[in-house]
């Protein structure tokens, strides 16, 4: 398990491109036939990916967690961006197609990942936070999420997008995890613009469906001192509470957003005017 130790806003201002990437960005988390995870000291999040092929993968615990099993004191969000698959939790199977989401509650002892077809494997994004209470394990399909999608932006501002909220107060209940995803319309490039910050919780973005020859330029940092990270398909970036989190792609794409912190209100944010960005 890789350890990611976040920098504060003071150290951030002096960091090189390589240091920014090493600190805030997790690359190569999706490895065929393996589970790859990292521990983020900020909010004690665990992030990563699972790509089962011809045999299932089991999510074991890690020495850093000091637990008998992974979800002994944690909850877990799972988001599939690959082929059809199944997540089996304590013997119960939850089929997950592309863009389906699963919440795994605290106390779940055995978690296994399966792909329906080895040559078109599932690709499960994993996002976990500590939990002090238990909620039922539950899945939601993309078709079900479409009914409650929120459509924002416009073609004129190049940010026409649809937001799908999966794990939140009015959806799948959790202890502190909030998770969903955003799909940009063809021809739109900007996400989360105008941007915002929220000191009550950090936020983690996972970019997916980014064409191999394309990139997303992710903006971060205090609104008056921004930096950028150039990101590829299935890269993951951590945004501390003092940092904006927004980006623009060279082509439309999708991204999964997730957070855990002081509250679960989706609209808990402090807006930043575009004109104030520097």
Could you report the per-residue pLDDT of 37-50, keeping only the tens digit for each? Answer: 999 998 999 999 99
> Sorting pLDDT into bands at 50, 70 and 90, what band is 264?
confident
Residue 68 pLDDT:
97
**Averaged pLDDT for residues 135-160:** 95
The answer to whether the CB of 199 falls within 8 A of the CB of 242 is yes
Interatomic CA distance for residues 1 and 137, integer angstroms: 25
pLDDT tens, residue by residue, 172-203: 999 999 999 999 999 999 999 999 999 888 99
Report, as an integer, the average pLDDT of 153-177.
95
Confidence bin at 263 (pLDDT 50/70/90): confident
Predicted local confidence at residue 261, as pLDDT: 82
Eight-class DSSP state of 172: B
Tokens 């950090």 sit on residue: 202
Token pair belonging to 259? 């957070």
Is residue 66 scored above 90 in pLDDT?
yes
Which domain CATH number covers 23? 2.60.120.10
Mean pLDDT of the region 78-93: 98
Residue 265 has what pLDDT? 81
CA distance 36 to 222: 30
Q: Which domain holds residue 255?
A: 2-133+141-276
Distant-in-sequence, close-in-space partners of 28: CB < 8 Å, separation ≥ 6: 36
Q: How far apart are CA 104 and CA 177, in angstroms?
A: 11
Q: What is the mean pLDDT of residues 160-173?
A: 95
Mean pLDDT taken over the chain: 96
Q: How many domains does the chain have?
A: 1
Are residues 181 and 165 in contact, defined by beta-carbon separation less than 8 angstroms?
A: no
250 pLDDT band, cuts 50/70/90, is very high
Whether omega for the bond prior to residue 194 falls within 30 degrees of 0, making it cis, is yes
Query: Is 90 exceeded by the pLDDT of residue 63?
Result: yes
Tens digits of per-residue pLDDT, 194-239?
999 998 889 999 999 999 999 999 999 999 999 999 999 999 999 9
Report pLDDT for 262. Answer: 82
């Amino acid at each position: 398990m890789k350890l990611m130790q976040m920098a504060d806003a003071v150290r951030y201002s002096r960091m090189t491109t390589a240091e920014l990437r090493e600190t805030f960005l997790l690359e190569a988390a999706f490895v065929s036939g393996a589970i790859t995870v990292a521990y983020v000291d900020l909010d004690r999040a665990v992030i990563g990916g699972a790509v089962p092929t011809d045999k299932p993968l089991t999510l074991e615990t890690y020495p850093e967690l000091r637990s008998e099993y992974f979800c002994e004191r944690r909850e877990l969000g799972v988001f599939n961006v690959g082929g059809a698959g199944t997540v089996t939790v304590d013997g119960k199977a939850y089929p997950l197609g592309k863009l389906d989401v699963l919440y795994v509650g605290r106390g779940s002892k055995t978690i296994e990942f399966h792909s329906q077809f080895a040559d078109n494997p599932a690709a499960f994004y994993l996002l976990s936070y500590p939990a002090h209470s238990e909620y039922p394990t539950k899945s939601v399909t993309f078709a079900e999420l479409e009914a409650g999608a929120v459509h924002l932006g416009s073609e004129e501002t190049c940010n026409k997008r649809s937001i799908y909220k999966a794990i939140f107060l009015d959806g799948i209940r959790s202890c502190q995890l909030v998770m969903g995803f955003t799909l940009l319309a063809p021809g739109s490039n900007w996400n989360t613009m105008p941007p915002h910050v929220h000191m009550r919780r950090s936020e983690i973005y996972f970019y997916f469906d980014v064409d191999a020859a394309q990139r997303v330029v992710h903006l971060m940092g205090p609104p008056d001192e921004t930096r950028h990270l150039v990101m590829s398909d299935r890269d993951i970036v951590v945004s501390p509470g003092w940092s904006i989190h927004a980006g623009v792609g060279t082509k439309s794409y999708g991204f999964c957003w997730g957070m855990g912190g002081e509250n679960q209100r989706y609209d808990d944010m402090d807006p930043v005017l575009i004109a104030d960005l520097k």
